Structure 1
Amino acid sequence: MPLTATHIQADTATVTVASQTEAITDWSHRYFGPWWNATTDTPSPGGYADGVGLVLADVDPASVDDITTFVSDYGHDETVYANARTLVARHDGITYAVQPDERIGYQADGRRLVIVGDQPEPVAVAAARLARELIRGQLLADGWTVLHASAATQNGEAVLIIGDKGAGKTTTALLLARAGWALLANDRVFARPEPDGRVRILPWPSAAAIGLGLLDATGLYDMVRERVLAGGQLHPTQHPKVTQALHDGRREPIWREDGKELKPQFFPDQLSTWLGLTLSTGARAAGLLFPAVNPEATPALVEDDRALTEADVFTSKTEDRYPDIFNLTPTAAAGPEALTEHLARLPRRSLVLSHDADANAALLAKTLQELTDEC
């Protein structure tokens, strides 16, 4: 069968995902889409073997068995990668890994990775994840840093929205996107200080978790439910209870026993095709927002000394979901010190948001005008 290939580019970083299964390359195309300039074609056999980054992915149960046997026969370590138990062995400079419960096998030699599995969808998910990690490694080597932040842009200027989990980063970014800003990222961004003293921002494509209550408050719930009732599929990480709630027309938040909210999970391309949002491919940082959500509060600016901290920067020490088992992170990556110094010079605001979308939007509009005037 002929290969199909999705080519991905973010700044100077490039990766190709190639497969004989078109659904696998289609997945990467829709996942990275306009954020990382994804394009698809039919390459000649072997045409991308010498690329800067290459992911060869396919459905091949026999190869999964071969990798599993190899890992079992050699001494191996056990870790958690992408929330799955993963066994890792190294031999002659090649990394072999298998996720037994998912039936996914990996073979990595530098920037060339092979991924095999029993079913197309798990292989497609793994291929997109590793393509993103290859891009990440190249960008880190080129001086970029990953921040735990959302971002929205207007006229080439970005506001970075920073805070812990649950602080309201996605809420703030979505409100700005609904107000005409372009969404650059919903949870992580790449940032790099430039010689002119500005800080460039690039997106980190990922599925977007948006609560049922927030969808309702921003007027997006009905169009999402209509898509679901017509057979549209959201991201497979979405909990079945959320899917059922959309079918039933329930709008109130759904909570797990541990207190975490279960939310609809959107593919990156669905942010534009389903929600009508504009996606941004890059900008320069103009200001920082530090939100906090309090349902009972009146939206307002608050006085505090919140600043960028180590917890807001993803490094090899703080990255928990994607340990570098394939040696894709450069050993000489730049530290975050220069970046944090540049960001510390930008105007910033801390604010409390409520569940009143209109009041939140009014406060954000006023606050961003102030930030713009200070730049």
Structure 2
Amino acid sequence: MTDRTATRIATADGQAVTVTSRSATVTDWAARYFGSWWNAVPAEPPISGALVSADVDSDEYEDIAATVLPHDPDEADYACSPMLHIRHEGGSVTAVQSGERLAYHWDPALRRLRIAGHDETAVATAAARLAREIVRGMLLADGWQILHASAVTRDDGATLLTLGDKGAGKTTTAFLLAHTGWRLLANDRVFVRTGHGHVRVLPWPSAAACGFGLLDALGLFEPVADRLRAGEPMHPTQDQRVTDALLAGRREPLWQANGKEMKPQFFPDQLDAWLGMPLATEGRAAGLLFPRITPDGEPQLIVEPRRLGEADFFTAGTEDRYPDVFGLLPLTGGASGVADRLGVLPHQALTLGHDTAANAALLGKTAAGLLG
């Protein structure tokens, strides 16, 4: 371990994993991803507990890949990239993503995950992603569940959860409230669990996307573009066409052929440092919002019998980006009663339009009214 750096990542509830590498870029990446929402600090040997060891090592990548490809592996789409994998006797898993030039070996008995690849950024991204998955498994085994929701908190920890289908306005709601004094707890997913008479909420650390329209309406387009022009990097998953538009000062939304908007992508720490949205590490659920975006409509409250349903919770069967290839998640888990406890909280459905100032005014008033 003397030639390696290490970052220990722990949630506010105590679950932890350590990322170690010969490259400080890999461990710094983990610190950047988790330091704002979870606790990420340098670690010194001896390292105990779950471990992700990740290095740029083309020879080891080839060696691991050679143990997978000849053995009729299963295939999964993992983080939008094909992954071939085999499960060995005893439960260990070996996998390879040829397109990303990444190879993996997970030993559940030792709780050790080895990652080898050709590209430093790809290795760093994979190490952070799988470290989060290991912690995710620990949280689920401890009774936590995952909601498809954004969340903001007040200074006293009271948390407002925003739920809805894709495109309903969860991220928009969270960003508008976070830009007016609330702390951003999550923009897409949260961990929830009952305890001490309320529902606790922990963040799901991730990069975040913000569309050109919202970025411009918040007065953040030029500050972001200026940082990019000065050489500060944005998240590597950002499409080059988005980067080019920012550099050129073009504010018009960009669209993929499938109709999905291409958006600027931000590291978690950039949400605070670049966008002025301070982050929170935990909270307690105190109210629910159910927005719906109607492009030509006026922001207004609506009467709608919306309640939490099965579709609002992530399960192994509904996970779309990170299938449990390595067997990191428990087969069952999640405390009962979360939906019932959340269902009795103050809640409000509303429609949002494309007038950002009007949306922010309605959201601020509604949030204050729900939480008192």
Tell me which interval the TM-score lies in, with the shorter structure as reference length: over 0.9
Matched letter for residue 232 of structure 1? E
Task: Tell me what 2:164 maps to.
Answer: 163
Q: Quick one: distance in 2 between partners of 1:354 and 1:234?
A: 28
Secondary structure (helix, strand or coil) at the match of 1:148 reads: strand
Matched letter for residue 347 of structure 2? R
Task: Tell me what 2:362 maps to.
Answer: 363
Q: Quick one: distance in 2 between partners of 1:286 and 1:363?
A: 18
Answering whether residue 54 of structure 2 is matched by residue 57 of structure 1, we say: yes
Answering whether residue 34 of structure 2 is matched by residue 2 of structure 1, we say: no
The runs of 4+ residues in structure 1 deviating greater than 4 Å are none
Q: Quick one: distance in 1 between partners of 2:97 and 2:363?
A: 44
Q: Quick one: distance in 1 between partners of 2:332 and 2:150?
A: 26
For the Cα contact (< 8 Å) 2:137–2:329, is it kept in 1?
yes
For the Cα contact (< 8 Å) 1:217–1:355, is it kept in 2?
no
Q: Quick one: distance in 2 between partners of 1:358 and 1:85?
A: 42
Task: Tell me what 1:187 maps to.
Answer: 188
Q: In the TM superposition, what whole-angstrom CA distance separates every residue of 1:87-126 from its partner, at most 9, and x where no partner exists?
A: 1112232210001111100000112100000111100000
Task: Tell me what 1:250 maps to.
Answer: 250
For the Cα contact (< 8 Å) 2:21–2:27, is it kept in 1?
yes
Question: Please, which moves more after superposition, 314-323 or 357-366?
Answer: 357-366
Matched letter for residue 29 of structure 1? A
Task: Tell me what 1:238 maps to.
Answer: 238
Q: 2:97 aligns with which of 96, 99, 110?
A: 99
Q: In the TM superposition, what whole-angstrom CA distance separates every residue of 1:311-339 from its partner, at most 9, and x where no partner exists?
A: 1110011011111111110123126x511
Q: Quick one: distance in 2 between partners of 1:87 and 1:287?
A: 43
Cα shift at 1:361: 1.4
Matched letter for residue 109 of structure 1? D
Task: Tell me what 1:85 maps to.
Answer: 82
Q: In the TM superposition, what whole-angstrom CA distance separates every residue of 1:5-53 from its partner, at most 9, and x where no partner exists?
A: 1110111210100001110001101011120111124x33xx21x41x2
Cα shift at 1:74: 2.7
Cα shift at 1:82: 1.2
Task: Tell me what 2:144 maps to.
Answer: 144
For the Cα contact (< 8 Å) 2:303–2:349, is it kept in 1?
yes
Cα shift at 1:204: 0.4
Q: 1:109 aligns with which of 95, 99, 107?
A: 107
Task: Tell me what 2:40 maps to.
Answer: 38
Cα shift at 1:256: 1.1
Cα shift at 1:307: 1.2
For the Cα contact (< 8 Å) 2:85–2:325, is it kept in 1?
yes
Q: Pairwise mapping of residues 313-332 of structure 1 onto structure 2 (< 5 A)?
A: 313-332=313-332
Q: Quick one: distance in 2 between partners of 1:365 and 1:88?
A: 48
Task: Tell me what 1:17 maps to.
Answer: 19
Q: Quick one: distance in 1 between partners of 2:329 and 2:39?
A: 22
Q: Quick one: distance in 1 between partners of 2:64 and 2:192?
A: 37
For the Cα contact (< 8 Å) 1:15–1:54, is it kept in 2?
yes
Matched letter for residue 37 of structure 1? N
For the Cα contact (< 8 Å) 1:191–1:339, is it kept in 2?
yes
Task: Tell me what 1:73 maps to.
Answer: 70
Question: Structure 2 length as normaliser, TM-score?
Answer: 0.96
Q: Quick one: distance in 1 between partners of 2:261 and 2:88?
A: 43
Q: In the TM superposition, what whole-angstrom CA distance separates every residue of 1:134-164 from its partner, at most 9, and x where no partner exists?
A: 1100000111001100000002100001011
Cα shift at 1:250: 1.0
Unaligned runs of 5+ in 2: none
Q: Quick one: distance in 2 between partners of 1:325 and 1:255?
A: 31
Cα shift at 1:72: 2.2
Q: Quick one: distance in 1 between partners of 2:119 and 2:247?
A: 27
Q: In the TM superposition, what whole-angstrom CA distance separates every residue of 1:278-319 from its partner, at most 9, and x where no partner exists?
A: 100001000000111122111110111111111111001101
Identity of aligned residues (%): 54
Unaligned runs of 5+ in 1: none
Secondary structure (helix, strand or coil) at the match of 1:202 reads: strand
Cα shift at 1:372: 1.5
Secondary structure (helix, strand or coil) at the match of 1:231 reads: coil
Q: In the TM superposition, what whole-angstrom CA distance separates every residue of 1:148-204 from its partner, at most 9, and x where no partner exists?
A: 0000000210000101111111110010011100000000000001142x1000000
Matched letter for residue 362 of structure 1? A
Question: Please, which moves more after superposition, 364-373 or 30-39?
Answer: 364-373
CA-based RMSD: 1.2
Secondary structure (helix, strand or coil) at the match of 1:269 reads: helix
Secondary structure (helix, strand or coil) at the match of 2:337 reads: helix
Question: Structure 1 length as normaliser, TM-score?
Answer: 0.95
